[in-house]
A and B are shown apart, each in its own frame.
Chain A
Amino acid sequence: MDTVLIARLITAMTLGFHIIFATIGVGVPLMISLAELIGIKKNDPHYLMLARRWTRGFVITVAIGVVTGTAIGLQLSLVWPNFMQVAGNVISLPLFMEVFAFFFEAIFLGMYLYTWDRFKKPITHWLLSLPVIIGGGFSAIFITTVNAFMNTPDGFTTEDGTFTAVNPIEAMLNPATPSKVFHVLSSAYLTCAALLAAIAAFMILKKKVTDQGVAYHKKALKLTLTVTFIFASVNLLSGDISAKFLANHQEEKLAAAEWHFETENNADLILFGWLDEDNEPAGEIRIPGALSFLAHSDFSSEVTGLEEFPENERPPLWIHYMFDLMVVIGMILAAIPLLYFIVTKIKNWNAHHKLMLSLIAVCGPLAFLAIEFGWILAEVGRQPWIIRGYMRVEEAATSSEYIGLMFFLFLGLYIVLGTLCVITLRKMFRNNPAEEELEKQYPTIEKGDIE
């Protein structure tokens, strides 16, 4: 049994599951806060109810985010003890700070949840949402610096296999940090807006809702799609910055993702396709010079090919598919909200047509897929290194014979958690539709009154 492979699989599984909930944990508080603020400013119960209902679903996902986050935190030492022994000297500061940020978020989330009607001024309650957003954002930032360090290690010198002369701040602010943090944050906000837009579109599609309910869901749709469009645009920018970063600092990752084998000027961008027996791209779309442009904003610039790297230091070539899928979804996520806003401006066109709503509903799952693909690209793209240039993955893993058993134990756990999460969320919202709750919470509201 290959313990290294199983160690990798356990970590991939835990993180793959965790990032769904971690992304929600970072992005959804922003949406809740926006809805509550608009509700208070406009004195519109619909937006206030949006904030309440989103919060209620959010708590369930936070619980799973917390427990799987605890799991990955401990697994770092359990599955990769040799890595933590060496790297702990350099990366413990951001890990420590991440816990602080999370602590801060946890304290204020508890307050936010249980003080809806306790303050004289509603804006006081809204203020409690700000530390939740800040805490969530900063925990993402700090943990991303750890990952950035593993990609472009900095801020130390080595002596007999241990890191000495450590500068923890420099290690945190390594070359990969700015582009990674920017891309992680923008994609988290984008994904959560797209998720909530998909829910609103789905609810309108179901058509069973009364007028009151439709008004509520249409407002949700407009708000979430606006945010989706903004962050999808920002995300394309941050993705471009990330690609340029790779071209300068992690050339082998970009080369593998783009099937760019020979160093050349005016390099073509390869879209889609597959590899034939000779490891040559086939069936691909070539955009002349576009890779050079993507890498250095200059069609004639030189892009390093994979041939410059020793064979045992090259990432696997299948990450190309991950790259393509992520980028294509990123573009779709900008295009569909844009289309929606164009349609709303055209007279006699129905922005709530079934087709339009279906497209929006698909955006939610697509955004999560893009998160997974992008993360796989980033992680597998740094193979065979755990700390690029310093420690290989096989040197870092535990040698315990029980690791295979642990894989199935955790697999079972995530299946149970995932299933119960879906069941609980469905129960929560299905038996308690928004229109009923609106009438209960705001008895003075008149049907179709608020548009």
Chain B
Amino acid sequence: MSYEIIGISVLWIFLYGYLIVASIDFGAGFFAYYAKITKHDHIMNQLISRYLSPVWEVTNVFFVFFFVGVVGFFPEAAYYYGSALLVPASIAIILLAIRGSFYAFENYGSKQSSIYMFLYGATGLLIPASLSIALTLSEGGFIVEQNGVVSLQYLELFTSPYAWSVVFLAIVSVLYISAAFLTFYASRANDKPALNLVRKYALFWSVPTIIASLTTFIALSQHNERHFEAMLDLWWMFGLSVGFFMIAIWLIYEKKYFGIAFISVMLQFFFAFFGYGKGHLPYILDPYITISDGVTNDSMAIALIAAFIGGLLLLIPSLILLMKLFLFNADYVKGKRD
């Protein structure tokens, strides 16, 4: 396998990892705020903060890992995306900064500030929307290079049905993934009231998620026919995705095997995300960067892959330890230890 394929696969896996862990985090922030204004906060907040507190920092690293990796494997991408994304990415940075630091202010510092809670919940929906713009741009047509100046076509972007459907898909998926995870977590904690609440959320948000997936698919066929055709050739991946979606919803509806239900949600997004990504190739930015001409030199690619393997040998045991101590520790999840 060539270096660029290894590189893009590694990055895509990390982006997928971010998609899952960040969705749980972003959605939880929104649900926590929603529970507060609907006066259900006493049911929800313990559960959410018990999961989030030890991992919020880890979530952020997945994202940093992805963009540092992109620049490392594909320095050309740094030039195009860096030039075009100055404004939207700066806004995303600010939203991330508000969210991350306010979480700490709220949870470790002063207790119970409604403003922090609101900002935490609101940024949880705005960040996925702003980050999804980068994926929209990669389809081409929004970034233009003229006389050596790379610029973003804001008017095209804001009037594009495809861009809006991606934003909508990002937001509803976040809420759906998060609710599915919290359902599983509440069942582990044996917390019946919370389970009832988040189970309803999961069932509710599954409907717009599957609708948005379809509309995005259709909008893509209008925007980038090449990519759409490539995805049709990968029909089986999307078929598996829909299959796992139905398994997840059925299990949640039947109130059983919530763990398997969440794994099905993960697999649903896994196949959709990798099908989308595989269909995108060979372009990283249509039509300016393909993975073969944008890739870094061989010696750096080898060094990055070596560093990646070394890093994983360190991280995987650490992550397993983290999960054993918090996620899969029955006493901790039930709140018997602080």
Q: Which A residues form the contact surface with B (CB < 8 A)?
A: 56, 59-60, 62-64, 66-71, 73-82, 84-90, 92-93, 95-100, 102-104, 106-111, 113-115, 117-118, 131, 163-169, 398-400, 402-403, 405-406, 409-410, 413, 416-417, 420-421, 423-425, 427-428
Chain A hits for B64, CB < 8 A? 69-70, 73, 99, 102
Which of B105-113, B136-144, B258-266 faces chain A? Answer: B105-113
Known: A71-B93, A114-B326, A400-B86. A92 touches B318 (CB 8 A): no
Bound CA span A92–B295, Å: 12
In the assembled complex, B149 has its CB within 8 A of some CB on chain A? yes
Q: Which B residues form the contact surface with A (CB < 8 A)?
A: 53-55, 57-58, 60-61, 63-65, 67-69, 71-73, 75-76, 78-83, 85-87, 89-91, 93-94, 96-98, 100-105, 108-110, 149-151, 296-297, 299-300, 303-304, 307-308, 310-311, 314-315, 318-319, 321-322, 325-326, 337-338
Known: A77-B71, A107-B58. A88 touches B337 (CB 8 A): no
Contact B149 A399 (CB under 8 A): yes
Contact B68 A409 (CB under 8 A): no
Chain A hits for B338, CB < 8 A? 114, 117
Known: A77-B71, A89-B75, A93-B307. A63 touches B101 (CB 8 A): yes
Chain A hits for B97, CB < 8 A? 67-68, 70-71, 413, 417
Chain B hits for A102, CB < 8 A? 61, 64
Bound CA span A398–B90, Å: 14
Known: A59-B104, A70-B64, A166-B297. A110 touches B307 (CB 8 A): no
Do most interface residues of chain B lie in helix, strand or loop, or is the interface mixed?
helix
Bound CA span A107–B315, Å: 9
Nearest CB of A to B31, in Å = 21
Bound CA span A74–B131, Å: 13
Nearest CB of A to B87, in Å = 5
Checking A59, A96, A406, A410 against B308 with a beta-carbon cut-off of 8 angstroms, the contacting residue is: A96
Chain A hits for B83, CB < 8 A? 81, 398-400
Contact B325 A111 (CB under 8 A): yes
Contact B108 A56 (CB under 8 A): yes
Contact A88 B75 (CB under 8 A): yes
Contact A398 B105 (CB under 8 A): no
Nearest CB of A to B159, in Å = 20
Bound CA span A163–B83, Å: 21
* A/B interface sample: 19 pairs, CB < 8 A: A67-B60, A67-B96, A77-B71, A78-B86, A81-B79, A84-B82, A88-B71, A89-B300, A90-B300, A95-B72, A97-B311, A100-B311, A102-B61, A103-B65, A114-B54, A166-B300, A168-B300, A417-B97, A420-B102
Chain B hits for A410, CB < 8 A? 90, 94
Nearest CB of B to A12, in Å = 16
In the complex, the chain B residue whose C-beta lies closest to that of A107 is B318
Chain B hits for A79, CB < 8 A? 82, 86
Nearest CB of A to B97, in Å = 4
Contact B300 A92 (CB under 8 A): yes
Chain B hits for A166, CB < 8 A? 297, 299-300
Nearest CB of B to A111, in Å = 6
Contact A106 B61 (CB under 8 A): yes
Bound CA span A76–B109, Å: 31
Scoring A89, A131, A413 by chain B CB atoms within 10 A of each residue's CB, the highest score goes to A89
Checking A89, A163, A402 against B86 with a beta-carbon cut-off of 8 angstroms, the contacting residue is: A402
